[in-house]
């Protein structure tokens, strides 16, 4: 390796030669250049520390506003996922254009967390409005409720749920390639909206199974306390 101004440079791969057109001004070896690229891609600038929460908060505010739209109903239902994407896509596109892939990934995770948290809180607090405004929400919950209560349903059979998930993944990738992520982000918002749709349960549903479980625990404690003094003798007698 040629020396630089500070002395000789040590390569982790001394027998590896870099083409001149790929080498940096100081003859960087591939591992150093790769680590530099990864560091640049994931670097979080002070501006991002401010912008990412603003985008996540803006999406949450727009979703909350869209959630309370009422007329026309069809337009309101279509606007809900669109409003969620309005602040997110420009930020993602800008970061990707600047080569900040890891930063874009982290920003989208923050956006998704803000979106799903907002939708869960809205559906739990206003279930009637959630049923009206969220596309496919009621149908999805009915399917999930049946599976949770009985263990029977599409989610219990890989032969049934895997094709659907693979189809969604294929459509998502295709939309990402064709629209630079715009329509795939919209698709993701639609999926998160109805997958975050929950209905509150009455605590009365838990009284019988919960009471039986509690009685079983108490019985276990009582039996162990009563048998503890004689249990060693019983064990020795059995051998």
Q: Where are the chain's structural domains? A: 41-195
In angstroms, the CA 13 to CA 30 distance is: 9
Mean pLDDT of the region 105-114: 90
Least trusted range by pLDDT, from 12-21, 73-82, 157-166: 12-21
**SS3 of 142, please?**
helix
Cα dihedral 167, 169, 171, 173, rounded to 10, equals -150
Categorize the per-residue pLDDT at 138 as very low, low, confident or very high, splitting at 50, 70 and 90.
Answer: confident
Whether the full predicted model's pTM is greater than 0.85, yes or no, is no
Residue-wise pLDDT tens digits, 186-214 = 999 999 999 888 776 666 767 787 888 89
Categorize the per-residue pLDDT at 47 as very low, low, confident or very high, splitting at 50, 70 and 90.
Answer: low
In angstroms, the CA 77 to CA 132 distance is: 8
């Amino acid at each position: 390796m040629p020396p630089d101004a500070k002395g000789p440079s040590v390569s982790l791969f001394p027998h590896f030669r870099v083409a001149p057109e790929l080498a940096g001004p100081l003859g960087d070896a591939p591992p150093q250049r790769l680590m530099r690229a990864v560091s640049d891609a994931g670097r979080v600038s002070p501006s991002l520390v401010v912008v990412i929460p603003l985008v996540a908060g803006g999406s949450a505010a727009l979703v909350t506003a869209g959630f309370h739209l009422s007329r026309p109903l069809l337009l309101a239902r279509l606007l809900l996922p669109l409003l969620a994407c309005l602040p997110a896509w420009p930020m993602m596109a800008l970061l990707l254009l600047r080569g900040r892939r890891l930063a874009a990934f982290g920003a989208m995770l923050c956006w998704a967390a803000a979106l799903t948290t907002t939708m869960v809180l809205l559906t739990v607090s206003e279930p009637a409005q959630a049923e009206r405004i969220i596309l496919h929400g009621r149908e999805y919950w009915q399917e999930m409720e049946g599976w949770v209560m009985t263990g029977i349903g599409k989610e219990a059979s890989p032969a049934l749920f895997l094709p659907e998930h693979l189809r969604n993944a294929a459509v998502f990738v295709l939309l990402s390639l064709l629209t630079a992520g715009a329509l795939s982000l919209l698709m993701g918002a639609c999926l998160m909206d109805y997958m975050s749709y929950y209905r509150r349960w009455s605590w009365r549903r838990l009284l019988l199974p919960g009471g039986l479980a509690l009685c079983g625990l108490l019985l276990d404690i009582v039996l162990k306390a009563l048998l503890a003094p004689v249990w060693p003798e019983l064990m020795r007698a059995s051998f």
